[in-house]
Amino acid sequence: MVKAKNKINTKEIFKGLQTQMEAKLTFNRSVVGHSTAKGDFTELEWIEMLSTYLPKRYCADKAFVIDSDGEISDQIDIVIFDRQYSPFILRQNGVTYVPAECVYAVIEVKQDLSKENITYAQNKAESVRKLKRTSIEIPHAGGVYPPKKHARVLAGILAFDGSLSKEMQGIVVNSDENKVINFGCSLIGKTYFKLSSYHPWDENKKPYQLALQKDENSLVNFFMNLIIELQKLGTVPAMDINEYLK
């Protein structure tokens, strides 16, 4: 007797996820009048999606990023971070503070993919990338691993609508290193872009290579490519807690 093979259509599953996100954010956009409340709702939806589907090693939350010198970033809509080598994530009065050493990526959430919002996301990313990040040796059974070099922090923008104009493409591929936007997604605009061949450690020459896609799978493209980029970064280095104790 030949058993029937069970199959699952992963394409339909991801398509359903995109349809679900579109419905939630469309409803929010139509019924919530106040721009701040609308933005907060949208951020929470994206954070919930990422927290649900990203591998468990990654945390996602709205947060400020801090360093051992007491410097602090702008508030970031979504910070993707790792707690393995970070013993403290501070939460006070509903506000989260994440050490710079454990940050993988920062993402801004906007209603529209526009020139102004691209620039805004660049400035937010710069406020994180300029922070100090420590790294120390990691003991193991045979001795110690030397301090690990930090990879560049990824940065992105998630928008409900809009597309990437020629002018905006020029801004993305010619930005300063600290202002690089590695990826972006417009849900209703069916747009996804990323900097292809962008290296997390080695020097990257301008103009950066831009991959731009316009199809119904913008959310799927964003999420799967985000995981690919996170995998390239490996695990964050161990932070020097003594620097924070000073």
Q: Which residues are catalytic?
A: 77, 108, 110
Which amino acid appears at position 51 of this protein? S
Question: From CA 51, how far away is CA 60, in angstroms rounded?
Answer: 6
- DSSP states along 208-233: PEEEEEESTTHHHHHHHHHHHHHHHH
Q: For residue 49, give both structure tokens.
A: 């999606």
- Strands (DSSP E) along 119-190, which ranges? 138-140, 143-145, 154-162, 183-186
- Nearest CA to 101 out of 56, 131, 122 is that of 131
Helix, strand or coil, per DSSP, at residue 157 = strand
| CA 41-19-192 angle, 5° bins | 80
Structure tokens given for 151: 């990879």
Size of the chain, expressed as the number of residues it contains: 246
| Coil/strand/helix, residue 131 | coil
Q: Is 182 within 8 Å of 156 (Cβ atoms)?
A: yes
